[in-house]
Amino acid sequence: MAGNTFGQLFRISTFGESHGKAIGVIIDGCPPNIEIDLDFIQGELDKRKPGQSKITTQRKESDTASILSGVFEGKSTGTALALLIPNEDQRSKDYDHNKDIFRPSHADYTYQEKYGIRDYRGGGRSSARETAARVAAGAVAKLYLKQKGVEIFAHVSSAGTINSPNLPVQALSALLVIRESNIVRCADQATANEMIEMIDGVRKDGDTVGGKISCIIRNCPVGLGEPVFDKLHADLGKAMLSINAVHGFEYGSGFAGSEMKGSEHNDIFHVAEGGKPISTSTNFSGGIQGGISNGMDITFRVAFKPVATIMHNQQTVDKSGNAAEIKGKGRHDPCVVPRAVAIVEAMAALVIADHYLRQAAYQ
């Protein structure tokens, strides 16, 4: 297997390059009898698609998904479920000049060395375009988790050096309204305005900037996660780190927790008002203990580097090892993080759905 497959029981295989005919996914292990709401799937894809605002790439794709199999009379059959998303706006000519040149901090060089061949148009398989297939599959996972009452909410908590304050304790649906009301998808309106202004400035400079996404998974039952190697946070980490441009993952107290003392960090158990379930007074554990969910909110953060395609000329080398110059032209995406919110939620849904099934197997 060469890396295009994810998950044990809720398993997906994706395909598709930036400038190929289409991208798509097969879900092998979608439970049967789930209402497959194509409008919902399309809505999730719309949150990721390019051309959605002035602060993202201007490539125009409708990312229209269609179902090819695995659904009958609106419900999943339990057999292989395939979704297809045609590519529409490939401007392959934009990339002719890339044919023999390695763009800095892109995957051009590594793909060329690994495979001995690369589809250079738009980055080929290394392009973030493939994440549309993940979002489609994640939408199906979300439909499954809806039945279970699990909620997943992510938002842009940092863009560059601008950080949003910690979110108030609130229904995730309320946070979702705020998030979707601004084009940077931050759940704090004031911070969102700052971020948009900053990113627009970066865009005018032809530059790019990174950011962080914070995510909450709520109402996860106790018992998900498979120690010792498939701990829930380890699978979440792998899922997030597999997203283009991600350079870091932390959950619960994260990196800051490494500076704390045990006497400060321990989450004290108490019985929730009215009896079960047990909960904790603090949540430095981020909802996961010993790699298994404990019922508290699962919280984690994902760090994105600034993407490598900048509208400046850069010095580089070509395939023959000679000095070359890469022109600053083509598709410019000043900050991918607003669009990545949908991908983070999709990957979280895929991991939780997978672990739901794995735990169900042993009941």
126 marked among binding-site residues: yes
Nearest distance, CB of residue 90 and a second copy, angstroms? 12
Helix, coil or strand: residue 165: coil
Q: How far is the CB of 122 from a second copy (least distance, A)?
A: 12
99 is an annotated ligand-binding site residue: no
| C-beta of 170 vs 313, nearer to a second copy | 313
Which CB sits closer to a second copy, 173 or 279? 279
Smallest gap, in angstroms, from Cβ of residue 280 to a second copy?
8
Smallest separation (angstroms) from a second copy to the CB of 112:
9
Pairing of strands 75-76, 162-163: unpaired
Minimum separation from the CB atom of position 131 to a second copy (A): 8
Is 14 assigned to a binding site?
A: no
- The reply to whether 253 sits in an annotated binding site is no
The answer to whether 153 and 184 are in contact (CB under 8 A) is no
Token couple for 209: 């900037």
- The verdict on whether residue 358 carries a ligand-binding annotation is no
Name the residue with tokens 């590594």.
110
Closest to a second copy by CB, 50 vs 287, is 287
How many residues are present in the chain?
A: 363
Burial readout 42-81 (b: 16 or more C-beta within 10 A, e: otherwise): bebbebbbbebbebbbebebebebebeebbeeeebbeeeb
CB within 8 Å of 169: residues ≥ 6 apart: none
The three-class DSSP label of residue 254 is helix
8 or 176, CB closer to a second copy?
8
Residue 264: exposure state from Cβ atoms within 10 A (0-12, 13-18, ≥19):
exposed
Provide the minimum distance between the beta carbon of 58 and a second copy in the complex, in angstroms, as a whole number. Answer: 17
CB of 291 to a second copy, least distance (A): 7
Q: Which residue's CB is nearer to a second copy, number 50 or number 225?
A: 225
- Is 150 annotated to bind a ligand? Reply is no
Nearest approach, Cβ of residue 57 and a second copy (Å): 13
Q: Flag whether 76 is marked binding.
A: no
Instruction: With beta carbons less than 8 A apart as the criterion, state whether 84 and 132 touch.
Output: no
C-beta of residue 194 within 8 angstroms of C-beta of residue 321: no
Residue 62, marked binder: no
Q: Is the peptide bond before 277 cis (omega within 30 degrees of 0)?
A: yes
Which one-letter DSSP state was computed for residue 109?
Answer: H
33 versus 170: smaller Cβ distance to a second copy: 33
Sheet containing 81-86, strands listed edge to edge, beginning at the edge strand earlier in sequence: 5-6, 11-15, 22-28, 81-86, 66-69
* Two structure tokens written together for 35: 């209402």
127 is in an annotated binding site: yes
165 is in an annotated binding site: no
Q: Token match 């600053």: residue?
A: 328
Q: Between 168 and 361, name the residue whose CB sits nearer to a second copy.
A: 361
Nearer to a second copy, 153 or 251 (CB): 251
322 is in an annotated binding site: no
Query: Cis omega (within 30 of 0) on the bond before 228?
Result: yes
Which residue in 244, 246, 225 sits closest to 235, CA to CA? Answer: 225
170, 361 contact by CB (below 8 A): no
Question: Which residues are 8's β-sheet partners?
Answer: none
Question: Which residues are annotated as part of the binding site for FMN?
Answer: 125-127, 244-245, 290, 305-309, 331
Write out the binding residues for NADP(+).
Answer: 48, 54
Annotation: binding site:
48, 54, 125-127, 244-245, 290, 305-309, 331
